[in-house]
Copies of this chain bind each other. A is one copy, B any other.
């Protein structure tokens, strides 16, 4: 592997000059530059990223810390991040935090030592101090689905409240009158927002009652259990809005087990728009988030910040869209 020295020698210039033409960091006489370029070509020279990193404190790597890549929500996010990073020549380090603050801290600690250029946290448990610490060291961060309180960096999320309202309105349009909601863990702002959206619309219904809400954990099993509870209290419910798709799948399962037909007797709507929703029977109506785009956008903002050195601090809220499918289909009368 040729080094910058080899290039300098062959081109008959100093390493500084070579560095300049590579990084366009200073003007260089076009002719000299030409010589250098030629030498680079000839030697097939490629700058060593590690040496560069040591000198400049940037390795051309961004870190993506998410709860668990096994959760079907995250692969699309990861892909979104990776695609834009790769396009810009950066690489992505993946970390699974399991929503453990400690694991997040541990990733941060290790990755800082590797001079990663920036962090994207899609994790729900980052310690405020960790964010502050990174901020202080001028390491760019982008947060996904976090509250406003952490106003010291860019935050991306989708419009959860509006999405919920969309969902409930849709259920009503399809003829539902008694709509239950399975909400996610209330530590998560997304879960809270979705619940609020539900209450805002469902609260107006004659049949509404707070007991139409039941907690879940954003996983399939909890969705199933929640429905079992709900059916005890409200055997006559005719619509279920689950706080995410996994719980909606669980709901579908519970209903199926009980011989309750979807959508004829009960209509079900999820949230997220993950691929699973297309393979259930019936296919699941859902509020789709632009997950891939969110990942791409997060990466984009992060890269901009890395390049410019300017912190953006903005909160971006993306629109969601209703994808009507069989599970909420209105029977023609």
A residues contacting B by CB (< 8 A) are 46-51, 53-54, 59-61, 68-70, 72, 74-76, 78-79, 82-83, 86, 89, 91-96, 107, 109-111, 113-115, 220, 249, 253, 256, 275-276, 278-281
Contact = CB atoms under 8 A, between A and B. Distances in A.
A91 B91 contact: no
A46 B109 CA distance: 9
A47 B79 contact: no
B72 A69 contact: no
Contacts of A78: 69, 94
Given A70-B75, A86-B95, A91-B95, A47 B276 contact: no
Contacts of A54: 48, 50-51, 53-54
Lowest 8 A-B CB distances belong to which pairs?
A281-B281, A49-B113, A49-B114, A94-B94, A50-B53, A69-B75, A50-B54, A50-B115
Contacts of A109: 46
Nearest to A292: B70
A48 B112 CA distance: 9
A252 to B, nearest CB: 8
Given A79-B68, A93-B92, A249-B279, A47 B113 contact: yes
Number of this chain's copies in the assembly equals 2
B70 A114 contact: no
B89 A110 contact: yes
Contact of A114 (B59, B111, B279): B59
Contacts of A50: 50, 53-54, 59, 113-115
Contacts of A72: 72, 75, 275
Contacts of A107: 91
Contacts of A110: 49, 89, 91
A106 to B, nearest CB: 8
Contacts of A280: 279-281
Contacts of A94: 78, 82, 92-94
A222 B75 CA distance: 22
A152 B59 CA distance: 31
Nearest to A53: B50
From A59, A61, A278, A279, name the one whose CB has the most chain B CB atoms within 10 angstroms. A279
Nearest to A278: B220
Nearest to A111: B91
27 contacts: A47-B113, A48-B54, A49-B114, A50-B53, A50-B114, A61-B93, A61-B114, A68-B79, A69-B75, A69-B82, A70-B79, A70-B275, A72-B75, A75-B75, A78-B94, A79-B96, A82-B95, A86-B95, A86-B96, A91-B107, A91-B110, A91-B114, A92-B94, A93-B94, A220-B279, A276-B279, A279-B280
A195 B205 CA distance: 56
